[in-house]
Amino acid sequence: MPQRLVVGITGATGAVYGVRLLQRARELDVQTHLVVTPSGVINVHHELGLDRQALEALADHAYAPGDIGACLASGSFETAAMVVAPCSMRSLAAVAHGLSDNLLTRAADVTLKERRRLLLMVRETPFNLAHLRNMTAATEMGAIVFPPLPAFYHRPASIAELVDESVERVLALLGLQGAAPRPWQGVGAA
């Protein structure tokens, strides 16, 4: 059976992370199951010029956020992991409080209850106390909170390189075979 990855895209800025994850998953022969919120569709279009149809074409299967009867809503549908990229503070709050108010947050709830890996690429700045508390709650439940904060020590030459560096680390953290984040080789004293 192919490795199945659930991908959620919400209305936080950073739509490129979700898109690159879908593209890399395809290269790694990972089967993707995509849920995009209405705000996610707005941001993907605003930031990348892709409409819902073009975005969903990057995934193997796509579901409407209101399709709460879809296979992703049940733990009996076996998946390797789920990633929400980018993850808004609204969706983070819904996950942290177990709201399951749409298919994306229900799939995240299922991922946690089945003790599978859930990674949230949360994005906001600065954080208020609710955001911080919700990140703590999600972490306490077993989720991995991975804000898309770029590292500069590999001296990236482009935004695409910056994005891909994080995407590869996320794929590796999700336990997907073939992901190959670039290891830090160390540096001598100045």
Ligand X SMILES: Cc1cc2nc3c(=O)[nH]c(=O)nc-3n(C[C@H](O)[C@H](O)[C@H](O)COP(=O)(O)O)c2cc1C
The footprint of ligand X (CB under 6 A) covers: 10-13, 37, 39-40, 42-43, 46, 88-91, 123-124
Beta carbon of residue 156, minimum distance to ligand X (angstroms, whole number)? 21
Beta carbon of residue 91, minimum distance to ligand X (angstroms, whole number)? 4
| E runs forming strands in 27-80 | 31-36, 61-63
Going by C-alpha positions, the residue among 125, 8, 129, 1 that lies closest to residue 62 is 8
Dist CA 52 CA 66 (whole Å): 15
**Shorter beta-carbon distance to ligand X: residue 148 or 176:** 148
**Shorter beta-carbon distance to ligand X: residue 40 or 80:** 40
Residue 92 tokens read as 């983070």
Decide: helix, strand or coil at residue 67: coil
Beta carbon of residue 179, minimum distance to ligand X (angstroms, whole number)? 25
**Shorter beta-carbon distance to ligand X: residue 10 or 166:** 10
